[in-house]
Structure 1
Amino acid sequence: MSLNIKKKKMIVAKISKINQCALSAVIIDFSGICTNDLNKLRKKSRENDVIINIIRNKLLKLIIKNSNFKCLEPLINGPILIAYSLKHPGAAARLIKEFNKIDEKFKIKAASYNNKIINSENISILAELPTYKEAIVRFLIIIKDISIGKLIRTLINIKNIK
C-alpha cells in the first residue's frame, strides 16, 4: 500500500501523541505471525491499555527521534511491531511475554523504559513490575502481618508478666 505524504504526516502525528504519553515501549519482530494471532493480540492489548502499531521503520524512527524511546532507534530494522504501555510500564512487556508463550515465532527485540534500553533477555524485569493494585494489596498484607505480629508479641508479654 502506497502512502502519500499527507497520510504519512497523519500517521506520524497520531503515533507521536501516543509516544509522548507512553510510559514504556516494546519492539517486536512479528515476521511469520498469522493475522488471526495479531488480531487476538490487539484485542488483549485494548483490554490492558496497551497500544500496538505496525509502522514503517522510517516513520517509526521519525516518531521516536526526540522522545524517551530514542535508544530503540538502532534496533529498528525488518518487520517491526511496537507496543506502548499507557497506564503501567510493565503492561506491554507482560502482554508480549504472555503472547510469546503462545506463538514462538514472536521475537521480542527490546524494550525501553525511563530512557533506558532493556534487552530481550531481561524483558521479564519490566514485566514483573507490580501494578498499582498489586502494590496496594502487598502493602495491605504487610500491614496485616505486622499488626498480627504486634498482637501476638503483646499477648506473649502479658503471659510472661503473670
Structure 2
Amino acid sequence: MSLNITKKKMIIAKISKINKHALSAVIADFCGVNSNNLNELRKKSRKNDIIISIVRNKLLKLIIKNSNFKCLEPFIKGPILIAYSLKHPGAAARLFNNFSKLNENFKIKVAAFDNKIINSENINLLADLPTYKEAITRFIVIIKDISIGKFLRILLAIKNIK
C-alpha cells in the first residue's frame, strides 16, 4: 500500500506525539511471526500502556530525529516493530521479552532509555525494573516484617524477664 504525502505527515505527527511522551522504546524484528500472535501482542500492550507500531524506516528516522531516542537510528534496518512505554520504562522490554520466549522468530534488537542504548543481551536490566505498584508492595512487606519482628523481640524480652 503506497502512502501519499498527507498520510505520511499524519503518521509522523501521530507517532511524534507518542515519541515525546514515551519513557523508553524497544525495537524488534518480527519476521516469521504470524499475525494472530502479533494481534495477541497488541492486546497485551494496550493493557500495559504500551504503544506498538510498524512504521517505515525512513519515517521512523524522521520521527526520532530530534528526540531522546535518536540513539536508535543506526539500528533501524529491515522490518521492525517499535514499542513505546508510556507509564513504566521497563514495560515494553518486559512484554517483548516474554513474547520472544514464546516465539523464536521474534528477536529484540535494542532498547533506548534515558538517551542510552540497551543491547538485547542486557534487556533484562530494563525489564526487571519494578513498577510503582511492585515497589510499594515490596515496601509494605518490609515494613510489616520489621514491625512484626520488633513485636516478637519485645514479647521475648518480656518472657525472659519473668
* TM norm structure 1: 0.96
Task: Tell me the amino acid that sits aligned with residue 6 of structure 2.
Answer: K
Alignment correspondent of 1:152: 152
Alignment correspondent of 2:105: 105
Aligned length: 162
Q: Identity of paired residues, percent?
A: 76
Q: Please, which runs of 5 or more residues in structure 2 have no aligned partner?
A: none
Q: Distance in 2 between matches of 1:161 and 1:68?
A: 63
Q: Distance in 2 between matches of 1:64 and 1:106?
A: 23
Q: Distance in 2 between matches of 1:114 and 1:129?
A: 14
Alignment correspondent of 2:8: 8
Would you say 1:50 and 2:54 are equivalent positions?
A: no
Q: Deviations over 1:16-36 (max 9, x none)?
A: 000000111000011111111
**Aligned partner of residue 18 in structure 1, secondary structure:** helix
Q: Distance in 2 between matches of 1:71 and 1:120?
A: 15
Alignment correspondent of 2:40: 40
Matches within 5 A, 1:43-122: 43-122=43-122
Report the CA distance between 1:142 and its aligned residue: 0.2
Q: Please, which runs of 5 or more residues in structure 1 have no aligned partner?
A: none
Task: Tell me the amino acid that sits aligned with residue 30 of structure 2.
Answer: F
**Aligned partner of residue 60 in structure 1, secondary structure:** helix
Report the CA distance between 1:152 and its aligned residue: 1.6
* 4+ runs deviating over 6 angstroms: none
**Aligned partner of residue 52 in structure 1, secondary structure:** strand
**Aligned partner of residue 99 in structure 2, secondary structure:** helix
Could you tell which deviates more after superposition, 137-146 or 40-49? 40-49
Q: Distance in 2 between matches of 1:153 and 1:116?
A: 47
Q: Deviations over 1:58-82 (max 9, x none)?
A: 1101111111111111111000110
Report the CA distance between 1:145 and its aligned residue: 0.5
Q: Distance in 1 between matches of 2:117 and 2:82?
A: 14
Task: Say what the alpha-carbon RMSD is for the aligned residues.
Answer: 1.0
